């Protein structure tokens, strides 16, 4: 019964025992990427939403959820949204009362071309939550950052596309360990939320800040760029782990 229920397939599907990743449940097949603007500076709440693999066909269900959220209201005071509008590539595909629903088009992720770079500035716009040896850590080492990008991409490819990437990540990580950390700053962030699914208050903890690296960054620029879109670390479905990269020669 659970296998045929979309809710369980999204949130509570046990990971296969033979999966090459240690996890109890499959990752959520979606990503909410917030557009960082304070609500008191705009009358619009905007965000990007991604679905992965076969779950793309369920986009109408997710849009309906967002529509209901707008009607029910957000936050403690249940601030309601006047309307919901959904765009893809600047083309409106849905709004309440629209005569026709345009099915979102599917996209494929490709690694971009390398860019020559000797410096990389990584700025986390939303908290990043990464654990190393069981402890919450800020990825001040370039190797740790890349390891988490590789893991994120590999998990999405394996579980949602059915493909195990044939890439020598170990060699890439070996070279990543040679990249030097020049400067870093961080701030611990604590976000409290109430989980209707678990029926209790929860606290999400991560770090925001900026990291500056020096070295042969060029071979890693495609991975840094695709990580911007997919986010890294835990709680990505809540928007965690979003960063932007600034490269210099």
Distance between first and last Cα of the chain: 56
For the stretch 161-194, pLDDT in tens is 888 888 899 999 999 999 999 988 888 888 777 6
Q: Which residue has the tokens 């369920």?
A: 58
Which stretch, 17-26, 68-77, 167-176, 182-191, has highest mean pLDDT? 167-176
pTM of the model: 0.85
The two three-digit tokens of residue 106, written as one number: 């599917």
pLDDT tens digits for range 114-123: 999 999 999 9
Residue 2 clears pLDDT 60, i.e. is over it: no
Q: What is the Cα–Cα distance from 108 to 122, expressed in whole angstroms?
A: 24
**149 vs 199, more confident:** 149
pLDDT at 229 over 80: yes
For the chain, which domains are there? 2-94 (no CATH), 119-248 (3.30.70.1900)
**Among 112, 138, 114, CA closest to 217:** 114
Nearest to 204, CA basis, from 227, 237, 243: 237
pLDDT at 15: 81
The pLDDT value recorded for residue 103 is 78
pLDDT over threshold 70, residue 158:
yes
Spatial contact of 51 and 62, defined as CB atoms under 8 Å apart: yes
Share of the chain above pLDDT 90, in %: 29
State what percent of residues in the chain have pLDDT above 70: 92
Q: Compute φ and ψ for 184, nearest 5 degrees.
A: -150, 150
């Amino acid at each position: 019964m659970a296998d045929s229920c979309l809710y369980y397939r999204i949130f509570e599907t046990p990971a296969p025992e033979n999966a090459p990743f240690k996890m109890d449940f499959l990752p959520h097949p979606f990503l909410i990427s917030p557009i960082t603007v304070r609500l008191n500076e705009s009358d619009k709440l905007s965000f990007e939403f991604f679905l992965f693999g076969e779950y793309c066909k369920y986009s109408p269900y997710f849009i309906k959820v967002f529509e209901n959220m707008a009607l029910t209201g957000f936050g403690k005071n249940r601030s309601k949204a006047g309307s919901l509008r959904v765009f893809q590539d600047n083309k409106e595909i849905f709004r309440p009362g629209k005569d026709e629903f345009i099915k979102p088009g599917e996209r494929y992720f490709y690694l971009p071309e390398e860019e020559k770079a000797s410096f990389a500035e990584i700025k986390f716009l939303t908290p990043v939550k990464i654990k190393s040896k069981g402890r919450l850590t800020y990825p001040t080492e370039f190797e740790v950052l890349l390891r988490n990008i590789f893991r994120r991409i590999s998990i999405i490819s394996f579980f949602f596309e059915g493909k195990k990437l044939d890439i020598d990540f170990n060699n890439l990580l070996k070279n990543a360990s040679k990249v030097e950390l020049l400067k870093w700053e961080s701030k611990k962030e604590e976000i409290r939320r109430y989980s209707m699914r678990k029926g209790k208050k929860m606290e999400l903890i991560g770090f925001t800040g900026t990291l500056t690296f020096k070295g042969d960054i060029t071979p890693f620029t495609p991975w840094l760029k695709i990580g911007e879109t997919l986010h890294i670390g835990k709680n990505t479905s809540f928007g965690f782990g979003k960063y932007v990269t600034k490269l210099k020669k």
